Amino acid sequence: MPLIKSISGIRGTIGGKPGDGLSPVDIVRFVHAYCATLPQRKPSPSEGTRYKVVVGRDARISGEMVENLVVGTLTACGVDVVKIGLASTPTTEMAVTFAGADGGIIITASHNPRQWNALKLLGPDGEFLSAEQGRVILDMASKDEFDFAGVDSIGKVVSKDYTQDHLDAVLALPEVDAEAIREAGFKVVLDAINSVGGIIMPQLLSRLGVECVRLNCTPDGDFAHNPEPLPSNLEGLSTTVVGEHADLGISVDPDVDRLAFICEDGKPFGEEYTLVSVASYLFERLDAIARASGEPIGKVALPYAAVSCSNLSSSRALRDVTERFGGKYFASAVGEVNVTAKMHSTNALIGGEGNGGVIFPALHYGRDAIAGTALFLSNLAHKKMKASELRKTYPDYHIAKKRLELSDPALIDRILEKVKAAYAEEDLDLTDGVKVSFEEKRSWVHLRRSNTEPIIRIYSEAPSKEEAEELGEGIIRLARNEIGE
């Protein structure tokens, strides 16, 4: 599988020749480029005379090998390293600020299978690099111009575990009601896909007084099933929830930034509804404060605005629950870095992605399944409902996900232009491909190009599964008629 390069880092399968996967040569090349461009992102180190970078990894089988290469390259470039070892992605992001570091590198391929690994690059704020910063690193890496430090300038390595710091920060949030969760006496089943979720999630649940039945919680990287937290991959979790008479099933991906729930009856809560539920809980809290104070909800949201954000391919249910309480909703292009940029610009209270990614800026600007779990359990405890009952309180939508494979990448722009023309009278958003919204039918369809293949991804949503499927199929028929394929 070819090495995939993007503004947020590089990813590929382990093994093979340089450029054909994530090889040691590619790792050294990109880490060197990251180091060489540090002064552009931060003119001088936060502390002392040397830059400092945090390195954390998930539990993939290749993780230790890649970590050794990353740490060795950083020190060879004269950069000090804070090695935090096995850690979730949000823990690594927060460790950058905890350690007063100048950046961070996360070694994880997120939801991709076990043969994959990746480098994800962070700035001094613990957030993913901007598009422009990422492009600078890609350009530097392509030049193969190396300059390493002399023997007296080699970086130093210290090791530290920031798991408890992360948990302390989550439990200190006023929105996390640990007392209510303890009183609820929840029993949950946790599927941590044999990665770092098996370390941090049981500790979170223990501190919240939640009984935890562990499933796939050995952090050895031997994934028990496809690691993406989709219903088709969580049948074992569903069966165990029912068999254990648990209140909830919790699934996280290998780096613990995505979160999905299974209801007490074994049915999916819905990955899209992870964010919807957390957002609804936060806006309900604001609404109660506003009613008690006689102030509009916008004022009681300070220091954040009564705003939610997600990407264009996420459910409109987030918009519905936000507007129900008098808040405002904004959409961004697909990609976490785009969502966080929109959240910064709107001073959003809550945001994330429909893939189970919850971003709560009162903690940090990054998808965080640990925070998402604590907020969701707070909501469930306050509602005194079963998970299946809670799900029924939210607007019900269905998403269909399709892809159109093309023989020629040049056809992509032609198809997008055809869709724009065909739906010119509807509400169009051209931020990221083409999104067509049908307000009367409360439905939409979103087309966007793949960054790595001659593919158009087609997501559609409607109040019924049949309507969502037909929206997507209609676009495919339109495209095929246009290109004669």
Catalytic position from the list 8, 23, 88, 110? 110
| 444 within 8 A of 437, measured Cβ to Cβ | yes
| Pairwise CA distance, residues 10 & 107, whole Å | 10
- Residues whose CB falls within 8 Å of the CB of residue 173, separated by 6 or more in sequence, listed in order: 360, 362, 363, 371, 374, 375
Does residue 73 contact residue 147 with C-beta atoms inside 8 Å?
Answer: no
The contacts of residue 291 (CB under 8 Å, 6+ apart) are none
Distance CA 240, CA 262 (A): 10
The answer to whether the CB of 11 falls within 8 A of the CB of 109 is yes
Distance separating alpha carbons of residues 205 and 250, to the nearest angstrom:
11
**3-class DSSP state of 177:** coil
CB burial class (10 A; 0-12, 13-18, 19+) of residue 418?
A: middle
What CA–CA distance (Å, rounded) separates 335 from 435? Answer: 15
Residue 277 annotated in active site:
no
Strand partners for 331: 310
| Contact between 113 and 189 (Cβ < 8 Å) | no
Inter-CA distances, 141 with 17, 40, 50, 131, 341, Å: 17, 15, 22, 15, 25
Give the CA diameter of the chain: 69
- Collect all residues with Cβ–Cβ distance below 8 Å to 132 and sequence separation of at least 6: none
The residues pairing with 157 across neighbouring beta strands, listed in sequence order, are 81
Alpha-carbon span 53 to 34, nearest angstrom:
10
Helices (H), 88-245: 89-98, 131-143, 163-171, 178-184, 197-207, 235-243
| CA–CA separation, 444 and 468 (whole Å) | 8
> What phi and psi values does residue 238 have, to the nearest 5 degrees?
-60, -45
DSSP-based three-state secondary structure for 350: strand
Closest C-alpha to 65, from 102, 103, 4, 21: 21
Q: Are 165 and 364 within 8 A, CB to CB?
A: no
Quick check: 462 and 17 in contact, CB under 8 A? Answer: no
Name the residue with tokens 């350690």. 99
Strand pairing class (52-57; 80-86): parallel
Task: Just list the catalytic residues.
Answer: 110
